[in-house]
Amino acid sequence: MKSRRLGKSAIAVSDICMGTMTFGNETDEDGSHAQLDRFVEAGGNLVNTADVYTKGASEEIIGRWLSARP
């Protein structure tokens, strides 16, 4: 996956961003984690979330996924 610098920083982010609006609503936690795993395997590292996505459930799911990563 292609990446680019974030603004003038040295941080590289993937050209494709993964949206997580359905996490905790249409997509259960296992499915959400599987999608995140696949996105990272494909070279992605930019994830979009907001506290209004399923009343914060999306961020909680992402947090548990991050905590479980080696």
3-state DSSP assignment of residue 4? strand
Phi-psi region of 54 (alpha: psi -120 to 50; beta: other; left: phi over 0): left
Q: Which of 16, 18, 21, 15 is nearest to 3 (CA)?
A: 15
Catalytic position from the list 24, 36, 47, 53: 53
Residue 16 annotated as catalytic: no
Q: Which residues are catalytic?
A: 53
